[in-house]
C-alpha cells in the first residue's frame, strides 16, 4: 500500500520547481494534495494534472502566503474539499540579490514575508485545525543550506532561512505534545526556476559546481524523495532536525 494513503497535503508554491516535484511525489505515495499558486494558475494546473495522473486528488487554491487570510483559507479549503490536512510543506520561497547597503524595505518585506511570515502563519493555521481535531501532523519546511551557510549579497534570504531554522526547532518542542513533527529540508543548488539566472551564467555556474563534491545540481525529484520520507510513518520519531541535501556543498571547504 502506498505510504501516504488517505493523507492530505498542502504544498505551497507547488506550481513549479521543488514544490511541484514534492506534490507529485506525495501523490504517488497516496496523498491527496492542495496545490497553491499566487500568480500562475496554468502552472498549478500542470501540477494538478501530474497528481491526477499519479492517482491522487488535487484541488487548486489561490493563496499569497504572505497574506494571513489566504493562509487560513488554504488550510480551510483542504479540510472542506479533501476532508483533512495532515501534511504541510512550507515550500514557497523567493530570493533577491543585492549588496547589503542597497537592500530596500520593499526587498526586505518581499523576501521575509514569503519565506518566513508565510511559513509562520500557515503553520499556525495548520496547527489550530489539527489541535481542534486532535489529530497528529507533519510540518516540512523547505529551507536552504543558507539557514546555516553564508550567502553574501543575499542577506534577506539568509535572514529568512536562518529564522526558519530556529522556528523549526522551537515548534518541534512546542508541537511535539500535539503529535506534530516539524523538520527542515535544506537543499543546496537545485535545478529549478529560482536558479534561472545562475543557470544562464556559465562562469558563475562553473564556480558553484566546482564547490559541489558531487559535481552537479540536485534534481527537484531528489528533494521530493526526502520530503516523502519525512511525511511517511518511517519518520514518525523524527522532529526538530534539518536534513541537508546539497551534494556535499556545505562540507566542502578545503585548502587548495
Ligand atoms: C539558493 C540558490 C543557491 C543555492 C546554493 C539556494 O538556497 O536558492 O540560489 O544557488 O542555495 O548556494
Q: Is the CB of 161 under 6 A from ligand 1?
A: no
Looking at every residue in the chain, the average pLDDT score rounds to 96
Residue 214 domain flag: no
Do 9 and 214 contact (CB within 8 A), yes or no? Answer: no
99 pLDDT more than 70: yes
Residue 206 domain flag: no
Do 247 and 218 contact (CB within 8 A), yes or no? Answer: yes
2 pLDDT more than 90: no
| Residue pLDDT, tens place only, 215-252 | 999 999 999 999 999 999 999 999 999 999 999 999 99
Residue 172 domain flag: yes
**List of residues 6+ apart from 129 with CB closer than 8 A:** 75, 76, 79, 85
Residue 210 domain flag: no
157 among known catalytic residues: yes
Q: Which residue range forms the structural domain that includes residue 20?
A: 8-192+220-244
Q: Is the CB of 145 under 6 A from ligand 1?
A: yes
1 pLDDT more than 70: no
β-sheet bridge partners, residue 187 = 245
* Maximal CA-CA distance, the chain: 58
Q: How many domains would you assign to the chain?
A: 1
Q: Which residue lies with its CA nearest to atom 10 of ligand 1?
A: 189
Residue 175: name the closest of 225, 141, 147, 144 by CA.
141
* % of the chain with per-residue pLDDT over 70: 99
* % of the chain with per-residue pLDDT over 90: 95
Cα(169) to centroid(ligand 1), Å: 22
Cα(188) to centroid(ligand 1), Å: 6
Could you count the other beta carbons within 10 Å of the beta carbon of residue 253? 6
Residue 255 domain flag: no
Task: Identify the pLDDT of residue 254.
Answer: 78
- The CATH number for 95's domain is 3.40.50.720
The two counts, helices (H) then strands (E), for the chain are 9, 7
Residue 174 domain flag: yes
Residue 50 domain flag: yes
122 pLDDT more than 70: yes
Residue 111 domain flag: yes
Amino acid at each position: 500500500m502506498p505510504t501516504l494513503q488517505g493523507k492530505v497535503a498542502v504544498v505551497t508554491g507547488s506550481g513549479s520547481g521543488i514544490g511541484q516535484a514534492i506534490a507529485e511525489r506525495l501523490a504517488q505515495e497516496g496523498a491527496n494534495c492542495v496545490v497553491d499558486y499566487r500568480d500562475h494558475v496554468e502552472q498549478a494546473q500542470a501540477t494538478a494534472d501530474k497528481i491526477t495522473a499519479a492517482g491522487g486528488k488535487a484541488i487548486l487554491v489561490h493563496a499569497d502566503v504572505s497574506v494571513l487570510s489566504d493562509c487560513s483559507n488554504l488550510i480551510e479549503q483542504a479540510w472542506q474539499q479533501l476532508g483533512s490536512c495532515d501534511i504541510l510543506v512550507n515550500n514557497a520561497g523567493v530570493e533577491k540579490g543585492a549588496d547589503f547597503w542597497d537592500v530596500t524595505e520593499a526587498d526586505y518585506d518581499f523576501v521575509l514575508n514569503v519565506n518566513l511570515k508565510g511559513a509562520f502563519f500557515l503553520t499556525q493555521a495548520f496547527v489550530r485545525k489539527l489541535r481542534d481535531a486532535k489529530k497528529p501532523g507533519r510540518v516540512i519546511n523547505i529551507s536552504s543550506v543558507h539557514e546555516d551557510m553564508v550567502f553574501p549579497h543575499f542577506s534577506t534570504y539568509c535572514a529568512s532561512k536562518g529564522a526558519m531554522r530556529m522556528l523549526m526547532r522551537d515548534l518541534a518542542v512546542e508541537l511535539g505534545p500535539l503529535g506534530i513533527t516539524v523538520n527542515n529540508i535544506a537543499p543546496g543548488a537545485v535545478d529549478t526556476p529560482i536558479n534561472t539566472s545562475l543557470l544562464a551564467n556559465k562562469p558563475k555556474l562553473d564556480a558553484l559546481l566546482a564547490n559541489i563534491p558531487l559535481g552537479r545540481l540536485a534534481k527537484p525529484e531528489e528533494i521530493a524523495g526526502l520530503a516523502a520520507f519525512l511525511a511517511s510513518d518511517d519518520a514518525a520519531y523524527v522532529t526538530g532536525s534539518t536534513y541537508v541535501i546539497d551534494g556535499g556543498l556545505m562540507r566542502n571547504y578545503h585548502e587548495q
